[in-house]
């Protein structure tokens, strides 16, 4: 049971709402436009969660391999670094989970066509490119760009396409909004780990531009999604604006905690930031389904 606990911890459950939110948002926009296909929606959700777990496994393995994680780190425990899971097992789990995600994703060809193989390959490369390769994105101040792209723009538009057979400006703005909310999770992570990252030469956005930048970044990325999707909420009814307003209020309260806490005390802020994104996406799906 203890070993199972290590693997669950390595999945980084606090971050999984990021993958789920992109699917809920894409389905929500489809519902707002009078479309809903249950089967591809469920497959997209499973694919998104498996791909994110694979990304988390890869990040743990490659950061350990390259000496970027140390025992007793400020963030959540890293099982490979602490010796609870062998590096070989973590690497194998990365490939198995990524392979399972790709296999399940291939089912979407039934609705989207063969070109989705290229899209899936692009996502798979992104899963690995975040932590490894000739230019690991997370180590060159491109982590937030990666989240915006692979947890916002790409999945939301693909999910919407699989529901409606089309993409449009609305799906683009919604995908950017979801990507920005997801990026705030990385802001908290990098804000907490700034000293450790700087010590090992990991160039995150916070390391390069400082904590004041991170706080402004968090605030803007918490507010801008509502501005980008304002018209979509209005289409579902003016009363629905209460939900993005609640998300902004919650984010501002979390921003205060981000500015006043450090180290281990920021771990709950990371999880709650993920929940604000999930709340935004789930609320949008709910009101869109009601308006359908």
Position 62 scores a pLDDT of 93
> Contact, 187 vs 17, CB < 8 A?
no
Three-state SS string across 50-89, please? HHHHHHHHHHHHHHHHCCCCCCCCCCCCCCCCCCCCCHHH
Backbone torsions φ then ψ of 80, nearest 5 degrees: -70, -45
Provide CATH code, domain 2-291.
Answer: 1.10.600
Residue 112's Cα: distance from chain center in Å? 23
What values do phi and psi take at 122, rounded to 5?
A: -60, -45
Q: The pTM is what?
A: 0.95
Total residues belonging to the chain:
292
Dihedral pair phi/psi, residue 71, rounded to 5°: -55, 145
Place of tokens 């929940």: 275
Question: What are the average pLDDT values for consecutive 10-residue runs of the chain, which has 292 residues?
Answer: 87 92 97 96 97 95 88 79 93 96 96 93 92 91 95 97 96 98 96 92 94 97 97 95 97 97 92 97 96 83
Quote the pLDDT of residue 292: 78
Q: Where are the domains of the chain?
A: 2-291
pLDDT at residue 73, as a whole number: 74
């Amino acid at each position: 049971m203890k070993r199972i606990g290590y693997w669950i911890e390595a999945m980084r459950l606090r971050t999984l709402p990021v993958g789920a939110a992109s699917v809920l948002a894409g389905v929500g926009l489809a519902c707002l436009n009078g479309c809903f296909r249950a089967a591809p929606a469920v497959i997209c959700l499973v694919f998104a969660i498996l791909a994110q777990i694979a990304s988390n496994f890869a990040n743990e393995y490659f950061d350990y391999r390259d000496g970027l994680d140390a025992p007793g780190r400020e963030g959540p425990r890293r099982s490979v670094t602490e010796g609870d899971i062998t590096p070989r097992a973590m690497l194998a789990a990365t490939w198995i989970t990524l392979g399972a995600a790709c296999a399940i994703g291939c089912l979407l060809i039934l609705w989207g066509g063969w070109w989705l193989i290229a899209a899936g390959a692009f996502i798979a490369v992104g899963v690995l490119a975040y932590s490894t390769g000739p230019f690991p994105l997370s180590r060159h101040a491109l982590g937030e760009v990666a989240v915006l792209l692979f947890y916002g723009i790409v999945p939301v538009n693909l999910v919407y396409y699989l529901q409606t057979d089309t993409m449009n400006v609305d799906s683009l703005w919604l995908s950017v909004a979801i990507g920005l909310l997801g990026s705030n999770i990385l802001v908290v992570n990098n804000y907490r780990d700034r000293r450790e990252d700087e010590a090992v030469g990991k160039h995150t956005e916070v390391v390069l531009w400082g904590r004041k930048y991170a706080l402004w970044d968090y605030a803007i990325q918490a507010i801008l999604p509502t501005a980008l999707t304002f018209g979509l909420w209005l289409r579902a009814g003016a009363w629905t604006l209460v939900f993005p307003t609640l998300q902004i209020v919650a984010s501002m309260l979390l921003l205060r905690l981000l500015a006043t806490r450090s180290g281990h005390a920021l771990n709950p802020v990371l999880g709650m930031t993920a929940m604000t994104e999930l709340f935004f996406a789930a609320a949008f799906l709910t009101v869109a389904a009601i308006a359908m």
